Amino acid sequence: MPKTKKPRVALVIGSGSVKCAAALGLWKSLDRAGIPIDMLVGCSGGSLYASTMSLGFTLDECIQYTARLWNKDVTLKRNWNGILGAVFPSLFNFGDTFGMVSDKLMLGRLNQVYGEKTFADTKIPLTIMATDFYSGEMVTLAEGKLVDAIRASIAIPFVWSAHKVGGRTLIDGSASNPMPVDVAIKEGAEVILAMGFQSPLPTQVKSISRYAFHINGIMTNSLYHSNFAFHNAAHHAEIIPIFPEFDRPIRLFDTDQIPYVLDQGEKATEAQIPYIRKLLNI
């Protein structure tokens, strides 16, 4: 690393639904240590937090806004048409892009927080990951309306339907790149703080849709591991992994655990602060 120029620092927040709130704990810790972030990349649940941080809101505002976005009302409203369509495809018009949870409330809340804001309004450069629903290729979003990019990035298979952005049908970024460290590398970051999470796996499966969801979780984890392994082995940038530890299972809709999650994120970051400081000479 050249000593003359200050290395560019990127924060990558991987997919992890509710667990992504740990990014706010990370931010708290960096803020206290006076470590600035030059670039933000978010995937799936991580895109919510990356977007809010990039708009320059204060930490308290971020906590408040994101709590409004991801809570039990938003995550539990069933999409009965989608569910019945899965059982009786011909009667209920089963489409390619069905989801089990209605996205009306989610979109409404996203609009309340981000409104018409676009990537051009961010104070810190932001990239959001999504996946092309048909080809499975990763898609990086760095322009357009934030609401659309976030909605696409969190389109968790089987839960929320796919979302159309600029003529492409997009789903959850975690289907192609659950912790997009490579995006930060491509954009020229030298020090990358990578916050990633394992998908939760249940210990019991009681229905076929749960089974499909379980297999999906396994595959997301496999992809997360193989991506991380490759980025570590292949790139020159310094990747500092920040993996918060949780002593209890945190499931997709456990939004009441957010304060605990945030604390764990802060704790995991604290452990890395001395090394980050050494690298940045601060």
Closest to another protein by CB, 71 vs 221, is 221
Report d(CA 242, CA 244) in Å as an integer. 6
Residue 224 is inside which H or E element, if any? helix 208-234
Q: Which of 68, 164, 235, 267 binds another protein (CB under 8 A)?
A: 235
Sign of CA dihedral 58, 51, 223, 183: negative
Which residue in 92, 243, 253, 260 binds another protein (CB under 8 A)?
243
Min CB(54)–another protein separation in Å: 24
Question: What CA–CA distances, in Å, run from 113 to 18, 64, 146, 249?
Answer: 18, 10, 10, 29
CB crowding 144-179: b at 16 or more within 10 Å, else e: ebbbbbbbbbbbbbbbbbbbebeebbbbbbbbbbbb
Residue 24 in the binding site for another protein (CB under 8 A): no
Interface region with another protein, contact rule CB under 8 A, candidates 16-24, 63-71, 114-122, 212-220 = 212-220
- Provide the mask over 92-131, with x wherever binding to another protein is found by CB under 8 A and - wherever it is not: --x-x-x--------------------------------x
Q: Does 273 sit near another protein (CB under 8 A)?
A: no
The angle formed by the CA atoms of residues 270, 275 and 280, to the nearest 5 degrees, is 110
**Contact between 89 and another protein per CB under 8 A:** yes
228 binds another protein (CB under 8 A): yes
> Do the Cβ atoms of 25 and 266 come closer than 8 Å?
yes
CB of 110 to another protein, least distance (A): 24
Q: How far is CA 144 from CA 7, 54, 149, 230, in A?
A: 28, 15, 8, 30
Q: Of 180, 216, 191, whose CA–CA distance to 44 is shortest? A: 180
Question: Which one of residues 58, 207, 248, 281 is an interface residue with another protein (CB under 8 A)?
Answer: 207
Cα separation values, 178 from 54, 150, 152, 217, 228, Å: 20, 14, 14, 11, 9
Choose between 1 and 76: whose C-beta lies nearer to another protein. Answer: 1
Near another protein by CB under 8 A: residue from 227, 257, 264, 269: 227
Residue 94 CB, shortest distance to another protein, in Å, is 6
Among 166, 232, 251, 256, binds another protein (CB under 8 A): 232
Q: Is 218 in the site for another protein (CB under 8 A)?
A: yes
Cα angle 64, 100, 146; round to 5: 40
Size of the site for another protein (CB under 8 A): 56
Considering only 32, 56, 104, 215, the residue that binds another protein (CB under 8 A) is 215
Tell me if 230 contacts another protein by CB under 8 A: yes
In angstroms, give the least distance from the CB of 152 to another protein. 15
What distance in Å separates the CA atoms of residue 215 and residue 217, rounded to the nearest whole number?
5
Nearer to another protein, 57 or 246 (CB): 246
Residues that bind another protein (CB under 8 A): 1, 86-87, 89, 94, 96, 98, 131, 134-136, 157-158, 175-177, 201, 203-209, 211-212, 214-223, 225-235, 237-241, 243, 275, 278-279
